[in-house]
Chain A
Amino acid sequence: MSKMQHDDSPCVDVLSVHKTYANGTQALAPVSLSVRAGEFVSLIGPSGCGKSTLLKMMAGLLAPTDGRIRWWRSDFGAVGQPGRQLAFVFQEPTLMPWCRVAANVRLPLDLAGVPAGESAPRVQAALERVGLGPYEQHYPRELSGGMQMRVSIARALVTQPNLLLMDEPFGALDEITRNRLDEDMRQLCRENNLTVVFVTHSVYEAAFLSDRVVVMAARPGRVHASYDIEQDCPRNAVYRTSDTFARHCTDLSALLYQASLASGTGQEGTVPISAVTRSAS
């Protein structure tokens, strides 16, 4: 069933993008990556591989030194139009502590000038979707870390995004909370047919959530391998304990290890990618 939600139209195309900082550090060697509409793609890699940099470029927050990024086959100017909404979830909840939960979630709508009568039900719906319906009148500091992260996700969902970019959103949470959020996240994305690019440092999280995992190597940051995950299994607690999941984790760990070995040499393609890339069928 999930296959039907995929179509082949590209959502984001990263076309030989590279990034060199002013001090000469090469953060990204030319990287090309295509994310199809409806796909859940994770980026993993050793620290310094530029996965966050790449994500920020996809959000239009950073400009590439060279190369191009296309959103829905257009440039960034078209982002924000109906059907081309983009939302970003940060590593931290990044909520405004002076606003109640509802006002925090409403922020993107307020900034876009959506009238209050229209935004109120959308805020309520977004909070219901992340399971925080009764908390709209709370202040962020009254909530736990996991709940704050849920508010942050609700704020991203309220714009009804087509593309959701997440930068290690659950990295700071304990494992039990993170697993629950992962499960809810996967379900939310399927229900709303979201395209997601998800940066993480956890092999398990990547294997649980993604349709495809892109493994990156560092210094300079580049794509090391791309790994497909079986589509048809429902992502739930049963999947987490299955052999399939264990196999994906093992494969990804091996790829990540190779990527870390390949990092820091400054040379590209020291490990033949084709040798380790395998597509699950």
Chain B
Amino acid sequence: MTPLIRSEKFLSWFAPGLVGLLLLLAWEIVCQHLAVPDFIVPRPSVIASTLCLDFVMLMKSLWVTMQITFMAFVLATLIGTLIAFVFVQSRWIEISFFPYAVLLQVTPIAAIAPLIIIWVKDTFVALTLCATIIALFPIIANTTLGLRSVNPGLAALFRMQRSSKLQTLFRLQIPTALPYWFAGLRISSGLSLIGAVVAEFVAGTGGQGAGLAYQILQAGFQINIPRLFAALFLISVAGIALFALMLFASKLAIGHWHDSETTTET
């Protein structure tokens, strides 16, 4: 058995954790010493206590943001994958429609969000739509690339065995595309969260069912900077959790054969 301190796994958690802890400590000490007021840069301890005080309210907001994020992510995955499958059916379809997929990608969501919010009555649906548009492109691009990345030798082998189109799809194209698809999901999971937050910023929804972006806006107006930081912290945690979840899912699905999922545990 290797001692704990030498093991790669332990170090990969311990080292970044230590760095984080030291940074927080430095932040606390510097703010304390220079007597920086809380409404400019709050100390980590103040942020933590605010997080506890406003816990129920912030959790409600987190729940709203996460609902939008999840819905957008699921929608983007479904639609994006479907579009990719249509794209690879024929070169002409891809040539004709791909520029519009790019258009979707390059249009700043902040610019079209107000339109969507005007057109769609239900705020939840409108915000989900905005986040979906942001998260869509990486899935389309990656899945299309993956479906096209079939090993030419294997493709020839399938052709020589006179395989059906369905056999080629399920036994060759889809497994080949899986690592690319998961890479797309990893990017899109983060983007749906960003999309949800940005859309909410633009919409500026008030009242019931307000998400974390609303809390940040409100906290900014009220110069309640500790709460602003607390909300920011929750968004970051949510983003990291999403990323980790996708990492775990892809490891579970393709870790046993794909090199990118191999960890150097020797």
Chain A residues at the B interface, C-beta cutoff of 8 Å: 59-61, 80, 86, 88, 90-92, 94, 96-99, 107-108, 110-112, 139-141
**In the complex, what's the smallest C-beta–C-beta distance from A25 to chain B, in angstroms?**
20
Contact A80 B154, beta carbon cutoff 8 Å: no
B259 cross-chain contacts in A, Cβ below 8 A? 141
Contact A111 B257, beta carbon cutoff 8 Å: no
Check A88/B256 contact, CB under 8 A, given A96-B175, A111-B167. no
**In the complex, what's the smallest C-beta–C-beta distance from A158 to chain B, in angstroms?**
11
B159 cross-chain contacts in A, Cβ below 8 A? 61
Contact A111 B158, beta carbon cutoff 8 Å: yes
Instruction: Judge whether B172 is part of the interface by a CB distance below 8 angstroms.
Output: yes
Contact A61 B175, beta carbon cutoff 8 Å: no
**In the complex, what's the smallest C-beta–C-beta distance from B74 to chain A, in angstroms?**
25
Instruction: Judge whether B89 is part of the interface by a CB distance below 8 angstroms.
Output: no
Contact B157 A80, beta carbon cutoff 8 Å: no
**In the complex, what's the smallest C-beta–C-beta distance from B232 to chain A, in angstroms?**
41
Interface residues in B151-184 by Cβ distance below 8 A to A read 151, 153-154, 156-163, 167, 171-172, 175, 178
How far is B182's CA from A3's CA once the two chains are assembled, in angstroms? Answer: 56
How far is B171's CA from A111's CA once the two chains are assembled, in angstroms? Answer: 9
Interface residues in B240-266 by Cβ distance below 8 A to A read 254, 256-259
How far is B160's CA from A60's CA once the two chains are assembled, in angstroms? Answer: 7
Check A97/B258 contact, CB under 8 A, given A60-B160, A111-B158, A111-B161. yes
Check A61/B160 contact, CB under 8 A, given A96-B175, A98-B175. yes
B162 cross-chain contacts in A, Cβ below 8 A? 80, 111
Contact B160 A94, beta carbon cutoff 8 Å: no
Check A141/B160 contact, CB under 8 A, given A96-B154, A96-B175. no
Q: Which residue of A lies closest to B258 (CB)?
A: A97
B161 cross-chain contacts in A, Cβ below 8 A? 107-108, 111-112
How far is B153's CA from A91's CA once the two chains are assembled, in angstroms? Answer: 9
How far is B160's CA from A90's CA once the two chains are assembled, in angstroms? Answer: 12
Contact A94 B257, beta carbon cutoff 8 Å: no
How far is B163's CA from A111's CA once the two chains are assembled, in angstroms? Answer: 6
